[in-house]
């Protein structure tokens, strides 16, 4: 069984390195970590892209980095986030349905096929490490706008529809 190597980065971030067949890979950063053992990472209350270079690079592959920076600057203040304006500013509204779904896959940190509320709170960090956390009010409003079937999460089709509305 592989043995994870855990190193604390700050009070709110933790990076877990997992040695798999001799290769160390950065797996996740976590906030509110409840339990770490030699083989298990339990009770993650949220996952973040802040220490996932592959995910950050992937977003930059789809969207213009300068547009991302401008959009993050426009919504840097708490309670200022507007998903529709943000999607317009980063250039996501111009993208095809397939391209939007690729962006969705980057934001779906746990690869569940959905963006859940705990992932949505950190969605701006999915666009850039410098992105801020959404407030609880912003997160709930964003979720309500995107969750068309009422299951408490946003699927790829719902996300694509939200971007192109």
To the question of whether residue 102 is assigned a binding role by annotation, the answer is no
To the question of whether residue 151 is assigned a binding role by annotation, the answer is yes
In terms of DSSP H, where are the helices of the chain? 53-62, 65-74, 83-90, 97-107, 117-120, 123-127, 136-146, 156-163
3-class DSSP assignment, residue 150: coil
To the question of whether residue 38 is assigned a binding role by annotation, the answer is no
To the question of whether residue 73 is assigned a binding role by annotation, the answer is no
To the question of whether residue 61 is assigned a binding role by annotation, the answer is no
The rounded distance, in Å, linking the Cα atoms of 92 and 48 is 21
Going by C-alpha positions, the residue among 127, 7, 131, 142 that lies closest to residue 82 is: 142
To the question of whether residue 133 is assigned a binding role by annotation, the answer is no
To the question of whether residue 48 is assigned a binding role by annotation, the answer is no
To the question of whether residue 153 is assigned a binding role by annotation, the answer is yes
How many CB atoms lie under 10 A from the CB of residue 35? 9
To the question of whether residue 136 is assigned a binding role by annotation, the answer is no
To the question of whether residue 110 is assigned a binding role by annotation, the answer is yes
Residues making up the annotated binding site are 108, 110, 112, 114, 119, 147, 149, 151, 153, 158
Question: Which amino acids are annotated as binding site for Ca(2+), given as ranges?
Answer: 108, 110, 112, 114, 119, 147, 149, 151, 153, 158
């Amino acid at each position: 069984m592989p043995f994870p190597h855990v190193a604390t980065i700050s009070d709110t971030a933790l990076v877990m390195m997992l040695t798999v067949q001799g290769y160390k890979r950065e797996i996740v950063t976590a906030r509110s970590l409840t339990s770490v053992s030699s083989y298990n990472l339990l009770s993650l209350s949220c996952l973040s892209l802040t220490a996932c270079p592959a995910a950050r690079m992937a977003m930059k592959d789809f969207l213009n980095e300068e547009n991302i920076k401008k959009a993050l600057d426009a919504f840097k203040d708490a309670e200022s986030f507007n998903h529709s304006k943000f999607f317009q500013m980063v250039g996501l509204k111009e993208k095809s349905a397939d391209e939007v779904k690729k962006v969705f896959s980057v934001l779906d940190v746990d690869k569940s096929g959905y963006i859940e509320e705990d992932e949505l709170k950190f969605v701006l960090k999915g666009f850039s490490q410098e992105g801020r956390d959404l407030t609880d009010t912003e997160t709930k409003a964003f979720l309500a706008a995107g969750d068309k079937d009422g299951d408490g999460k946003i699927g790829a089709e719902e996300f694509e529809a939200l971007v192109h509305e």
